Chain A
Amino acid sequence: MAVRIRGRGVVKGTARGAALLSGTPISFLGDLDIRTGRVTGRLSDLCGRSIAGRILVVPSTRGSAGAWRFIHQLRQHETHPIALLTDELPDPSVVQGAILSGIPVIAGVASAVGRAAGDNSLLAVDGEAGTVDILDEGVG
C-alpha cells in the first residue's frame, strides 16, 4: 500500500519517477549545468549529482529573477527534473519556469517525503491534487 502525502499543488501536471532527496536549498541559476543537469553549486548537498529525469525534493529554492529561464533551458536540453517537491513555496520566477516547462510543483511536502521515502524511491506526483504517492522505499 502506497503512502500518500498531501501538500499544496502549485503547478499542475503528473510525474512518476525516482526521488532525488536534498536537505539544502537549490538555485536554478548558478547551481546547475544545463547541458548535463549536474549540480555544480558547492552549497548544495547534491553537488556532483544529476537532477535530470528525477523528482527533485528540496526544502526550498534560492531566489533569482532569472530562474525561469534556466528551468526552461533544462527542459530544452532534456536535463530537467520531472517534478519539484519543496517545503517552502518557490518564488514566482521558479513557478513561471515550471509552468512554462510543464514541470509539476508541490509545496509543503519535502520534509514529509524525506522522512517516508529514500533516495531513488519511486514516487507518483499529481500537481493538481497536491499529492505525492510513495510507491517503494528506495535506498537510505
Chain B
Amino acid sequence: MRLTDKDRSMLDGAQGPVRREAMEALVQLGEAFDAEAMVDIGYAHVHAGMAMYLGDVELVERLAHDGARMAVPASSNIANADMSHWPATGAPEKLVTLQRRAEAAHRAMGSSPCFTCTPYWAGHWPTWNTHMVSIESGVTVFCNSVLGARSNRDGFFAVYAGLTGRYPNFGLHLDANRRPTHRVVVEAGARGTSDHTALGYAVGRQVTNGIPLVSGLGRRPDLDELDALGVGMATSGGVAMFVLPGVTPPYGEDDECGTGLPEIHVDDAGLRAVYEEMCSPDAAGFDIVHLGCPHASFEEMKHYATLLEGRRVHDGAQLWVTTSRTVREMSRDAGILRTIEASGARVISDTCPISCHFARTCSPDPGLGVTPPELSAIVVDSAKQARYVRDMVHCPTLFTSTENAVATAVSGRFVPRW
C-alpha cells in the first residue's frame, strides 16, 4: 500500500500512540482489501461505545484517555440508554451511568455526542464526493445514495478513520464500485416512511449486496422516505447504496443507466407481504407502540404532533417516539414536543427499543442489573425496527403505517396497514 509521509509519521508513532494504533489498523484493513492508498475523509460517523456490551464503552474511553482527538467532523451513533430521560424507558441507573462515560469520552475526543442513527437530521450533512466513514449502515446508504458522499459499511474502524482523517481507498470509495447491479421496477404505490422501509426491505432481500437502480416510484420521495427506503434495503440485505436517477448524484433524471441489468419487480403484493411477515401471529396484545426508526427527523416530529394533537394515548398502552437529542431540542423550540408529550407519548433520545436494555442478544456486565422486560408485542412503523425486535428483543411485532400506529396507540387496538 502506498503511504504518504503523513501516513508514515502516524504509523511510526511520531503523532502519538493513539494515531499509531489507528493507522496500523487502517493499513491492515487496506491491505486485506487491496487498497492502493489512503484517502482524506471529510466526515466520520463513529461508534458510541455501548453500555449493553461488555467492555465496549471502555473501547472509546481508553482512546479518549490516551489523548485521542477527532481529526475531522465526527458524530456518535446510537447508544444503549437515554442519558437524560432514562426513567421513561425503565433502564437501570447503573446502565445509564456507564453509558454516560461514553458521552464524556466523545466530548473529550471532539465527536458530537448526538448519539443517533440519523446524524444528518442533527446537522451532519456530508456533500457530493466527500469520502467518509460510518458505523451505521443506514447512514452509509443515505449518504451514498441521497447525498452522493462515499462510504462503506464500516465497523469500529470508523473511529480510527476519524482520529487520523484517513481511510483505505476501497469499496464504495472507488467509482468502479458505485454502478448499479440490478434494476428495480416499483409497481407498488408506496407512501410514507413505513411503506418505504417495506419497499426497501423487499428490494434488499433480492439484491443482497448489490446496488439497485430504482425506477417506477412515480414521484420524487421526500427526504424521510428516501432515508426509509435505504434503511429498509440495508436491513434485509447488505445494500450500501442505491441509485435513484434525478436524486443520486451524479445521475440525471433521464440517464439511461440500467440497460441489461437483472430486473426485479416489487408490486403491492410484495409490499404487503413484508407487513404480513412482520406481524407475528402469536402477538397477544401489545405493550409499546414505537415511532422513530430510524431516529425521527424534525419533519417526522411535526407529523407525529399533527397526528397526536388533542388525542390521548390509551390507558395501558405506551407510545415511544425516538429521535436524536438535537431534533428533540428543535422540536421543543418549535412547540411540538409539548404537543406530542401532552398526548402521553414518551419522547426518548440516544436509544430506541432495539438498542436499549430490551435486547436479549447482548451480554452486559451482570453488575449492571439489566433484566430485559417481558413484552407481549411491540407495534412498529418501520421494517428495520420490526426485523430487529424479532431477532434481538425476541418479542412479537406488529408492523403498520405511522398513521395507523398512532391510531393503535390511541385506541388500544392494533390497526393494520392493509
Contact = CB atoms under 8 A, between A and B. Distances in A.
Chain B, interface size: which category?
Answer: 20 to 34
Given A65-B154, A72-B56, 11 more contacts: A11-B32, A30-B391, A65-B136, A65-B140, A72-B55, A73-B54, A76-B53, A77-B54, A89-B32, A96-B155, A100-B156
Interface of A: 10-12, 30, 34-35, 63-69, 72-73, 76-77, 89, 91-93, 95-97, 99-100
Contacts of B33: 89, 92, 95
A93 B238 CA distance: 12
Given A35-B363, A92-B171, A73 B153 contact: no
A97 B55 CA distance: 14
Contacts, number: 79
Given A11-B28, A63-B209, A76-B55, A93 B155 contact: yes
B57 to A, nearest CB: 12
29 contacts: A30-B391, A34-B361, A63-B209, A65-B140, A65-B154, A65-B155, A65-B238, A68-B157, A69-B53, A69-B56, A69-B156, A72-B55, A73-B56, A73-B362, A73-B363, A76-B55, A77-B363, A89-B33, A92-B32, A92-B154, A93-B153, A95-B28, A95-B33, A96-B156, A97-B155, A99-B25, A99-B29, A100-B25, A100-B156
Contacts of A68: 155-157
Contacts of A63: 208-209, 238
Contacts of A65: 135-137, 140, 153-155, 234, 238
Contact of A67 (B28, B155, B171): B155
Interface string B23-67: 001001100110000000000000000100111100100000000
Nearest 10 A-B pairs (CB), nearest first? A68-B155, A96-B155, A76-B55, A65-B137, A65-B153, A76-B54, A93-B155, A63-B238, A10-B32, A96-B157
Residue among A11, A35, A64, A65 having the largest count of chain B Cβ atoms under 10 Å = A65
A104 B156 CA distance: 17
Contacts of B401: none
